[in-house]
Structure 1
Amino acid sequence: MNIPELKIGDLIAKVPIVQGGMGVGISLSRLAAAVANCGAIGVISGVEPGFNLENYCKDKFQANMDGLAYHIQKAKELAPNGIIGVNIMTALTNFEDMVKVAVKEKVDIIFAGAGMPMKLPSLVKDSFTKIAPIVSSGKVAKLICKQWDRKHDYLPDAIVVEGPEAGGHLGFSIEQLTDTENFSLANIVKEVLEAIKPFEEKYNRKIPIIAGGGLYDGKDIGEILSAGASGVQMATRFVATHECDASDAFKQTYIDAQEEDIMIIKSPVGMPGRAIRNAFVERVYKYGKPKGIKCVNCLKPCNPKETLYCIADALIQAQRGNLEKGFAFAGSKVHKIHEIKSVKEVITELIDGLKKY
């Protein structure tokens, strides 16, 4: 297969890969810049990006805005000719403020999932920042397009379709996660393409679809592009890289993971999530809430009184390598990763595989 460019408005990625945003602190400026320098789209996670700043515990909202601004600036400095995006969850309590920071810093594109970002077009008005909602069905894609069309006279610059094999929080029920035939990524891509067709015709403009979730190699990429996607989103493959912003201990959990270690957990935010089984996860779900953990109030759906643990705290601990106090999210194919490589090596391997597809 010839390698297609991924075009999102006037943004042109020579490599049709978007590196998925991974929080907390797994994909920050170093990883995003490395990916962007290889011709793909590098993405900074907007989930608690200020967790390492001194004022985080005193004023986490300001720290996160400062952290996001810093990492966008740093990524642009490290990859001056690359495309840099941010992933900002709609469910964040400070979603709108974080979007405004990203726009002010002139980030190239904002990816927004974990809810329907109905106000997003108004937040990027008169800027050159592109916006791409993340969906898990044609129904949601249609709802967003309909609302953006009616209220903002705006269509998504791209749409990310996340399938049930992705890592982290998933927009599916437990039953849907086991129905691999009806909820395969290729089927969802086709469903979304059909749902957005009327809006593309109205605006006489193609909305590129970027699909991800459980993609591991060039063959996987080829199959999804053949299903109608314009590009792919990959996250798990970029964790076991030298440039990933996570600790070495976090990366080692990916290398050590066996297929039977991958599990679906019920996250404190009320969504299922795919994670790597470890002692922390087993202890929490068996014995209940650990002592000494305080909620940092990062997500709207989270009720501190009812949650088994603070998801942000657990992910921050894991990012730092304290796996006894946290855990790692990962995609379904994490068990196929056996060594740490450079971002360039990973992308070269993916492109070589795609060429052979």
Structure 2
Amino acid sequence: MPIQLNSKLCQIFNIRYPIVLSGMAGIPNMAPLVAAVSNAGGLGTLGAAYMTPQELRDAIHEIKKRTNAAFAVNIFAHVGPDHYTNFDAVNEELNPIRENLGVKKRTQDEIRTSNHFEEQLGILLEEKVPIISTTFGLLSEHHMQKVKSLGIKIMSKVTTVEEAVQAEKRGCDVIVAQGSEAGGHRGTFDVSSRPSGANIGTMALVPQVVDHVHIPVIAAGGIMDGRGLVASLALGAQGVQMGTRFLTSAESGAHEVYKRALLDSTEESTVITNAFSGRPARGIKNDFIQHWEASLTKPLTFPTQNTLTREIRNASAKQNNPEYMALWAGQGTRMLTDNHAAGDIINQIVEEARGIISF
């Protein structure tokens, strides 16, 4: 079968090109990038996991003002309650970093993570968001029925064939097969027995997932250009998801120091760490990660570790100091471009892919 850019994924999501923006939670003001990707023919995705209900609603309204095209919103599924086992040891290990940044020391009573999942999902249903994507697991059968009753499509991230099969059985319309090259959090459903997540490369994962499910598969992890798109389509995927590729775009809300760190990095710069959030994620190795690795201290589980380190990350960003920020990035950073418009990036990827396919 010849490789075609107008895949089944394009029909399901009503998009021109099989290119999906990854939902990157925690980066401010991403509505312009989401809309720009959708306007260019891809599928923009808002990373909403850490947003308050009002922030989420405002962001959705901003996206709708900027585009009439389809877009998605990503939320975290099955985030458990706070756990404070080993809190004192972890908290003590962070104090030298706090002192370095001028951040106040914190007690256990001050660390509480807000869980807005039900309110977030309710807003997505009220706003009739075209596509909902999930990370860390699947919507419950009850939630899935509510979403499906409104005609909203569901896309879920997986890191193993077993997770992909579960997603299809639950009723997902599309699966994102995330290889270990991907930046940011691993989408692994259960990391209790996998401290580093399921570390299967994109090239190995995608065809195996494709062979075991009957719904469209999107390839994610290390894909940066038309070559990666064509390779993914050749492996049986119906499209690609990219996050790192758009972080240095003109419309990205990423901090300028973060963008510079990405542009200065190489394929050897990133590591998978649970130091910032308590869940495995790929990012550029900096002083925070090195400090944590040297301490040999086990982090708190997600989301408590993430809440405990947030003040440190925010202070580091305000001081234009990349050494204590979470610099999430995939392994393809040598292929990044500086300040190109998202639409130009998509057009370049599509033209390169067409050139390869017609060769």
- 2:350 aligns with 351
| CA displacement, residues 144-166 of structure 1 (integer Å, 9 cap, x when unaligned) | 333x2xxxxxx212111111110
* Alignment equivalent of 1:94, drawn from 106, 110, 116: 116
Q: How far has the Cα of 1:66 moved from its partner? A: 0.7
Give yes or no for the alignment of 1:167 onto 2:187: no
1:7 partner SS: helix
2:76 partner SS: coil
**Mapped partners of 1:225, 1:335: distance in 2:** 22
**Mapped partners of 1:319, 1:160: distance in 2:** 30
Q: 1:184 to 1:279 in 2, by over 3 A?
A: closer
Give yes or no for the alignment of 1:188 onto 2:205: yes
- 2:338 aligns with 339
1:260 partner SS: coil
Q: 1:316 to 1:8 in 2, by over 3 A?
A: farther
Contact 1:13 1:41 in 2 (8 A): yes
Matches within 5 A, 1:63-212: 64-80=52-68, 82-92=69-79, 93-119=115-141, 120-146=143-169, 148=170, 155-170=171-186, 171=188, 173=194, 174=196, 177=199, 183-197=200-214, 207-212=215-220
**TM-score when normalising by structure 2:** 0.77
More displaced 10-residue stretch of structure 1: 183-192 or 35-44: 183-192
**TM-score when normalising by structure 1:** 0.78
Contact 2:157 2:175 in 1 (8 A): yes
Q: How far has the Cα of 1:301 moved from its partner? A: 4.6
1:264 partner SS: strand
**Mapped partners of 1:229, 1:158: distance in 2:** 11
Give the residue type in structure 2 aligned to 1:265: T
- 1:261 aligns with 269
1:216 partner SS: coil
Give the residue type in structure 2 aligned to 1:66: Q
Give yes or no for the alignment of 1:302 onto 2:302: yes
| CA displacement, residues 40-94 of structure 1 (integer Å, 9 cap, x when unaligned) | 0001001223xxxxxxxxxxxxxx11111111111111012x1111110114433
The unaligned stretches of length 5 or more in structure 1 are 50-63, 149-154, 178-182, 198-206, 290-299
Give the residue type in structure 1 aligned to 2:156: P
Q: How far has the Cα of 1:260 moved from its partner? A: 3.0
Number of equivalences: 310
Give yes or no for the alignment of 1:243 onto 2:259: no
- 1:36 aligns with 38
Tell me the C-alpha RMSD between the 2 structures: 2.8
2:253 partner SS: coil
Give yes or no for the alignment of 1:231 onto 2:239: yes
- 2:105 aligns with none
Q: How far has the Cα of 1:105 moved from its partner? A: 1.3
Structure 1 moving runs of 4+ over 6 Å: none
Contact 1:209 1:230 in 2 (8 A): yes
Q: How far has the Cα of 1:237 moved from its partner? A: 0.4
